């Protein structure tokens, strides 16, 4: 499968714990995006990388959230001290070259109990 | 601030009937407009982009800058069109973040 992959697909954690998600973009894509989607809502932008540089962060991304993309390949999204309000589907997407099209991964569903 | 509004959460139509999914937007400048679709148990994927002016799976969308609308239309609905549809916008070039609407679930009744 040469599409965007995300791991884990599901994560259940207790409030206050830290979690980390991984996204592997399509190999030749230099742009990578993280979104969050809650029930009944569309995806909400969190952050965007071009290669290894984090170019934009949403105000939704509180100081408990951090994202990295070392070497401009895979990316990780870490949430520290999780809260119940963090329960959501976390989506990763990538795009590359002159193409505007963002290719989405299957998402990681986070449940904070 | 950029915003996308999809007023209908659910739209039910009979097979063969016309479909129109409404989308209005708010953006300072000239945005790129998109429609994304998510079929059951599949990933979110791009359906069409306003600038390409093409018809995908029989769907078209016209950008009306005066009304700030980008409604999605299809003359004859098919059962396989049943899915969640999201209207979205981005800045010029479309490489930046995408702002999505809340989505409309299209249900095509056989």
- Residues near B41 by Cβ (< 8 Å), separated by ≥ 6? none
Residue A105 is nearest to which of B9, B43, B103, comparing CB atoms? B43
Q: Which two tokens stand for residue B88?
A: 């979205």
Considering only CA atoms, which of B40, B34, B24 is closest in space to residue B89?
Answer: B34
Arithmetic mean of pLDDT, A85-101: 91
- For B8, the closest chain A residue by CA position comes to A40
Q: Mind listing the pLDDT tens digit for each residue in A13-55? A: 999 999 999 999 999 899 999 999 999 899 999 999 999 999 9
- Write down the pLDDT at residue B94: 63
For residue B97, give the nearest of A40, A48, A100 by CB distance.
A48
Q: Is 80 exceeded by the pLDDT of residue B33? A: yes
Q: How far is CA A57 from CA A44, B8, B27, in A?
A: 11, 29, 19
pLDDT of residue B56: 85
In order of A86, B1, B6, B16, B83, the CA distances from A105 in angstroms are: 19, 27, 24, 32, 18
């Amino acid at each position: 499968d040469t599409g965007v992959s995300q791991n884990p697909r599901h994560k259940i954690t207790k409030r206050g714990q830290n979690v980390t998600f991984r996204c592997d973009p399509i190999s030749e894509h230099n742009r990578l995006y993280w979104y969050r989607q809650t029930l009944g809502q569309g995806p909400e932008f969190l952050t965007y990388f071009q290669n290894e540089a984090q170019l934009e962060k949403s105000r939704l991304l509180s100081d408990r959230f951090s994202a990295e993309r070392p070497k401009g390949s895979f990316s990780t999204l870490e949430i520290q001290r999780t809260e119940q309000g963090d329960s959501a589907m976390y989506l990763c997407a990538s795009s590359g070259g002159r193409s505007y099209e963002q290719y989405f991964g299957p998402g990681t569903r986070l449940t904070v109990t | 601030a950029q915003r996308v509004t999809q007023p209908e959460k659910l739209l039910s139509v009979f097979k063969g009937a016309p479909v129109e999914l409404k989308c209005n937007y708010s953006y300072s400048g000239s945005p790129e407009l998109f429609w994304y679709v998510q079929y059951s148990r599949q990933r979110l994927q791009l359906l069409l982009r306003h600038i390409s002016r093409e018809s995908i799976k029989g769907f078209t969308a016209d950008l009306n800058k005066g009304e700030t609308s980008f409604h999605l239309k299809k003359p004859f609905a098919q059962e396989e069109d049943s899915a969640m549809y999201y209207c979205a916008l981005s800045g010029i070039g479309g490489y930046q973040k995408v702002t999505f609407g809340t989505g409309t679930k299209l249900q095509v009744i056989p």
